[in-house]
Amino acid sequence: MAQSTQAAASWKAGDAPVGEVRVVDPHPLNWLYVTWNTMEEPVRTDERGEIVGACMEDSHWEGSTLVVKVRDGVRFQDGTTLTSASIERAFDEVQKWVAPHPPGTYLNFHPDTTVDCPDDSTIRFNFPEPDGLALAKFRGFHIASDRFWDESGFGGKVYGTSEGHW
Amino acid sequence: MNRVCDAEGEVDIVSEISPADAQRVIESEHAHLVTIDAMRIVSGLINRDRAYMNDVWVRKALNLAVDKERLISEVFQGYAHPVVAMSPPYSGAPTDIEPYPYDPDMAKRLLQEAGWPSDRALVLATTSDVAPIADYLAESFRSSLGIEVDLVSVPDEGLAAAQKALVEKKIPQHFDVLAHAWFDLAAGYPPAVIHREYHHSGGAFRLGSPLEMFEDLMGRSVVETNAGKLGDLGRDIDRLTHREALSVFLCCPMALVAVNNHVNFTGHAATLELAETSVDEGHWSRRNEP
């Protein structure tokens, strides 16, 4: 894959990317690495692999509800803004699947989980019981623009279902 | 790899450099080597459904039969870390237990006391990606245990079917040990992706009856939202895995990446991440900037 990059010293947030790198990645998980490099998730991992916030700025538990504060100023490739509604849309789209993740169903949210968005910056995940792996599951919870879901999704618009068409 | 080591402008970053090629990158004119303490592990997957393999003495014998330091220095050229059980040492592993030592005499004694028949060969399976590790294991088991080892290679064209059979668990697997490489998606709680796959009742690679204590610890983990307590449970799971010698614990390979000298690349333990990547003004893509 080729990807635009930033220049080392002078680049600052908001500047256009500078330069180009060409990458050869024969790892069997390349499909996942491409996804992680091109889509948003609530969390990402830092250099040491520790989970840190991405489009999720912060979170806390209220009983079995995980309250997520959405980071301001995140935009998709089409210029639209990522809000709590974007996360709700991704949740609604993915919850339709029996097996949304190639690595296995252990990354699924409980089927009885619900979400609500009190405002653009807050989303509440109401789990039927506390989910100790919720933040780890967020790593595989891909957030996309409405255009992505409306025009292709993960193959759903082409095949009629996204199941098995990651 | 030639295109990153011997030229500029064609390829800037190549991941998955093999240990055997690492020195070539180090000595190249145009690239340097980035080493990453990755969320990766190689082990011997033990099939506890097979005769004798459900005996913890046999499983401990297999662990004692392998010189892991030599494995790291010879097969991985030093680009791997020792591991106590299945948690990488930099990702939530317990610090109060030690790796099984290399002790061929003890290994042989345990195997004999477990009643291993002298004419019973150990069946060791492998796939092409871990073939050098399997070769090393076969040699270790033969020399340390004094038994015959049948090394069975799964052909690349049959890999998908073999993986499916392993995960579905409908067809008996005819190997005792499978050389196997796996990964984690994040640091901190390896049982979510590593131990669970190998040993939990819902794990894709488990071969053998679920262990009650393992199930209990995993059950407590999935509803534990306190990160500290979750880490404690993860260490308990790793201690149990070690005590029961549920796998042949080998090492955690580093991820090796060849990077053009004008590219600033930050290695990530759990992914190939490009967000922080930058290029300097000497990079081929910027030389003609106005």
Q: How far is B167 from chain A (nearest CA, A)?
A: 11
Burial of A26 (0-12, 13-18, 19+ CB in 10 A): exposed
Partner-chain contact A8 B279, CB within 8 Å: yes
Partner-chain contact A19 B283, CB within 8 Å: yes
Domains in chain B: boundaries: 2-37+255-277, 40-253
Q: Where are the beta strands (DSSP E) in chain B?
A: 13-14, 31-36, 40-46, 80-82, 122-127, 149-154, 177-183, 247-253, 255-260, 263-264, 278-279
CA distance B42 to B47: 16
Sheet with B247-253, side-by-side order of all strands = B80-82, B247-253, B40-46, B177-183, B122-127, B149-154
Q: What is the mean pLDDT of chain B?
A: 96
Q: What is the pLDDT of residue A159?
A: 78
Partner-chain contact A45 B187, CB within 8 Å: yes
Q: What is the pLDDT of residue A163?
A: 72
What are the tens digits of pLDDT across the range A69-84? 999 999 999 999 999 9
Name the residue facing A132 among B185, B221, B272 (closest C-beta). Answer: B221
Classified as helix, coil or strand, B193 is: coil
Is B237:B214 a contact under the CB 8 Å cutoff? yes
Q: Percentage of chain B with pLDDT > 70?
A: 100
Nearest one of B53, B69, B72 to B101, comparing CA atoms: B69
pLDDT of A166 higher than 80: no
- β pairing state of B80-82 and B247-253: antiparallel
Collect all residues of chain B within an 8 Å Cβ-Cβ radius of residue A30.
272
Partner-chain contact A50 B187, CB within 8 Å: yes
Is B139:B145 a contact under the CB 8 Å cutoff? no
Phi and psi (nearest 5°) for A22? -115, 125
Partner-chain contact B283 A49, CB within 8 Å: no
Q: What is the mean pLDDT of chain A?
A: 89
Would you place residue A10 in the very low, low, confident or very high pLDDT band (cuts 50, 70, 90)? low
Q: What is the pLDDT of residue A108?
A: 87
What are the tens digits of pLDDT across the range B116-165? 999 999 999 999 999 999 999 999 999 999 999 999 999 999 999 999 89
Mean pLDDT value across residues A12-16: 68
Checking ipTM against 0.95, whether it exceeds it is: no
Q: How many residues does chain B have?
A: 290
Task: Tell whether A74 lies on the interface with B, counting CB pairs under 8 A.
Answer: no
Q: Percentage of chain A with pLDDT > 70?
A: 90
What are the tens digits of pLDDT across the range B59-101? 999 999 999 999 999 999 999 999 999 999 999 999 999 999 9
pLDDT of A8 higher than 60: no
Q: What is the pLDDT of residue A3?
A: 57
Terminal-residue alpha carbon distance, chain B: 31
Classified as helix, coil or strand, B245 is: coil
Name the residue facing A27 among B184, B189, B272 (closest C-beta). Answer: B272
CA-nearest residue to A139 within chain B is B185
Task: Tell whether B286 lies on the interface with A, counting CB pairs under 8 A.
Answer: yes
CA distance A161 to B161: 25
Would you place residue B230 in the very low, low, confident or very high pLDDT band (cuts 50, 70, 90)? very high
Q: What is the pLDDT of residue A97?
A: 84
Amino acid at the residue B207: L
Q: What is the pLDDT of residue A89?
A: 97
CA distance B124 to B141: 10
Structural domains in chain A, sorted by start: 1-38 (no CATH), 41-154 (3.90.76.10)
Partner-chain contact B268 A49, CB within 8 Å: yes
pLDDT of A11 higher than 60: no
Partner-chain contact B186 A139, CB within 8 Å: yes
Mean pLDDT value across residues B233-262: 98
Collect all residues of chain B within an 8 Å Cβ-Cβ radius of residue A51.
186-188
Partner-chain contact A23 B10, CB within 8 Å: no
Q: What is the pLDDT of residue A158?
A: 78
Collect all residues of chain B within an 8 Å Cβ-Cβ radius of residue A129.
223
What are the tens digits of pLDDT across the range B9-45? 999 999 999 999 999 999 999 999 999 999 999 999 9
Q: What is the pLDDT of residue A13?
A: 61
Partner-chain contact A27 B15, CB within 8 Å: yes
Phi and psi (nearest 5°) for B42? -115, 140
Task: Tell whether A53 lies on the interface with B, counting CB pairs under 8 A.
Answer: no
Q: What is the pLDDT of residue B10?
A: 93
Q: What is the pLDDT of residue A107?
A: 82
Partner-chain contact A49 B204, CB within 8 Å: no
Q: How far is B34 from chain A (nearest CA, A)?
A: 13
pLDDT of A156 higher than 90: no
Mean pLDDT value across residues B192-212: 94
Task: Tell whether B8 lies on the interface with A, counting CB pairs under 8 A.
Answer: no
Would you place residue A63 in the very low, low, confident or very high pLDDT band (cuts 50, 70, 90)? very high
Task: Tell whether A22 lies on the interface with B, counting CB pairs under 8 A.
Answer: yes
CA distance B1 to B31: 10
In this structure, the dihedral spanned by the alpha carbons of residues A53, A55, A61 and A64, taken in order and rounded to 10 degrees, is -120
Q: What is the pLDDT of residue B88?
A: 97
What are the tens digits of pLDDT across the range B169-199? 989 999 999 999 999 999 989 999 999 999 9
CA distance A160 to B164: 25
CA-nearest residue to B184 within chain A is A49
Q: Percentage of chain A with pLDDT > 90?
A: 70
Partner-chain contact B272 A33, CB within 8 Å: yes
Q: Which fold has domain B40-253?
A: Dipeptide-binding Protein; domain 3 (3.10.105)
pLDDT of B246 higher than 90: yes
Phi and psi (nearest 5°) for A85? -65, -30
